[in-house]
Amino acid sequence: MLLPAPTSAIPTNIITGFLGTGKTSLIKQLLTLKPKDERWAILVNEFGEVGIDGAFFKGRPEDNIYIREVPGGCMCCTSGLPMQIALNQLISYAKPHRLLIEPTGVGHPKEVLAALQQPHYQDVFDIQATLTLVDARVIAQPRYRENLIYQEQLSIADRIIATKIDLYKGDEVGHLKSYLAEQGLANTPLTMLDSPLADLSILAGTTGSVTVKAQALSDKSEHKHEKEESLVDDLQHALQRTGRVTIENTAQGFSSQGWIFNGDKIFDFTQAMNLLSVVEVDRLKAVLITEKGIFGFDKVDEVLTCIELDESPDSRLEIIDADATRISTAVNKLESTLFA
């Protein structure tokens, strides 16, 4: 059925949080609650260059769900031409009733807010609640609590959502509240996501404070990036020539390495499960075409999950870590076994 296009500004939410906090999982929950008569659009940015997250959403026009990926670094880097092109194409094609934006876990979300507040978007987007997801188990680690990006993600939140509650073993919630108080965020609403969402109420929120927050944060950190052009065409040409491409990215103290394989390469499912279970990196994501079907792999907190997917034109795998040695070790293990 052809649905009418929205006649008012598009309700828009930014869903941010550090690597592995469950942003994609939350969006998948929200999609299950989407009114059937609404079109939703999702703009996903990934730190890595190969683009994997979109496959996990299973967005299809017939479901009134539209996905657009902007791979390669933080969304602030893409808040220039690439982000605007992707955003304009997405809203032009989907004509959505709601837009969800998921910046990378190591990106500056204030820059995304700034991009959405440009004069030419003034009547296009109705910026609603910005949600920041946090895993309270890591609050004690200096690499998180002292990280400026981590602090910024919390500072721009209209609501902070503590995830993975079932894995907490001590007073993680108390430590989180203390840390938020230290950051001057004691009054920011805090939600404990200890059960599936019952409705879409967390998306509601005011827009008046968003501009103030974005402007106030602009003096805290300067972040510029010169990469403005997409690598999609070059990647496709290389993939056609060699059947495989490898792409690296380094920024904000993290490194990634990703691979794309032609769709005619068939991976061994059991070998993939066994190997990916023992690879030690902060984050691992993959979509692999195997002899048993197409599967999405997601590893965080040393736990590997696997879901079956409907389709994928190629296979992709990406690893992310702050330790270059761990990246190198993982690359060698993958190259000598799974990719051999």
Contact 13, 128 (CB under 8 A): yes
Contact 218, 110 (CB under 8 A): yes
The pLDDT assigned to 217 comes to 40
Do 240 and 327 lie in a common domain? yes
Do 66 and 163 lie in a common domain? yes
Is the pLDDT at 221 greater than 70? The verdict is no
Average pLDDT over residues 101-105: 83
pLDDT band at 207 (very low <50, low <70, confident <90, very high): very low
What is the number of domains present in the chain? 2
278 in a domain, yes or no? Answer: yes
Do 31 and 147 lie in a common domain? yes
The pLDDT assigned to 210 comes to 46
- What tens digit of pLDDT does each residue of 35-88 get? 999 999 999 887 655 667 666 665 556 689 998 887 665 455 544 567 788 899
Pick from 102-116, 197-211, 310-324: least confident: 197-211
The pLDDT assigned to 29 comes to 93
* Percent residues over pLDDT 90 in the chain: 51
Domain boundary residue, one of 217, 247, 264: 217
pLDDT band at 229 (very low <50, low <70, confident <90, very high): very low
Q: What gap in Å lies between CA 134 and CA 155, rounded to an integer?
A: 12
CATH value at residue 110: 3.40.50.300
Q: What gap in Å lies between CA 295 and CA 287, rounded to an integer?
A: 6
Do 267 and 211 lie in a common domain? no
CATH value at residue 256: 3.30.1220
Higher local confidence (pLDDT), 73 or 222:
73
The pLDDT assigned to 5 comes to 57
Do 30 and 171 lie in a common domain? yes
pLDDT band at 224 (very low <50, low <70, confident <90, very high): very low
Is the pLDDT at 211 greater than 50? The verdict is no
Do 136 and 281 lie in a common domain? no
pTM of the model: 0.79
Average pLDDT over residues 286-300: 94
The pLDDT assigned to 241 comes to 80
Domain boundary residue, one of 163, 192, 217: 217
Higher local confidence (pLDDT), 168 or 58:
168
Do 52 and 195 lie in a common domain? yes
Do 241 and 171 lie in a common domain? no
Is the pLDDT at 328 greater than 60? The verdict is yes
The pLDDT assigned to 83 comes to 76
2 in a domain, yes or no? Answer: no
Contact 267, 317 (CB under 8 A): no
Is the pLDDT at 165 greater than 90? The verdict is yes
226 in a domain, yes or no? Answer: no
- What tens digit of pLDDT does each residue of 119-131 get? 989 899 999 999 9
* Percent residues over pLDDT 70 in the chain: 79
The pLDDT assigned to 20 comes to 85
Domain boundary residue, one of 217, 249, 278: 217
Do 106 and 254 lie in a common domain? no
182 in a domain, yes or no? Answer: yes
Do 129 and 193 lie in a common domain? yes
244 in a domain, yes or no? Answer: yes
Q: What gap in Å lies between CA 16 and CA 142, rounded to an integer?
A: 20
**DSSP-derived secondary structure letter, 5:** P
40 in a domain, yes or no? Answer: yes
- Please provide the DSSP assignment of 263-323 as one string: TT--B-HHHHHHHHHH---SEEEEEEEETTEEEEEEEETTEEEEEEES--SSEEEEEEES-
The pLDDT assigned to 300 comes to 85
The pLDDT assigned to 45 comes to 80
Average pLDDT over residues 271-300: 94
- What tens digit of pLDDT does each residue of 25-35 get? 899 899 999 99
5 in a domain, yes or no? Answer: no
Contact 115, 85 (CB under 8 A): no
Is the pLDDT at 222 greater than 60? The verdict is no
Is the pLDDT at 248 greater than 90? The verdict is no
Tell me the residue range of the domain where 162 lies: 10-217
Do 124 and 250 lie in a common domain? no
65 in a domain, yes or no? Answer: yes
Do 202 and 246 lie in a common domain? no
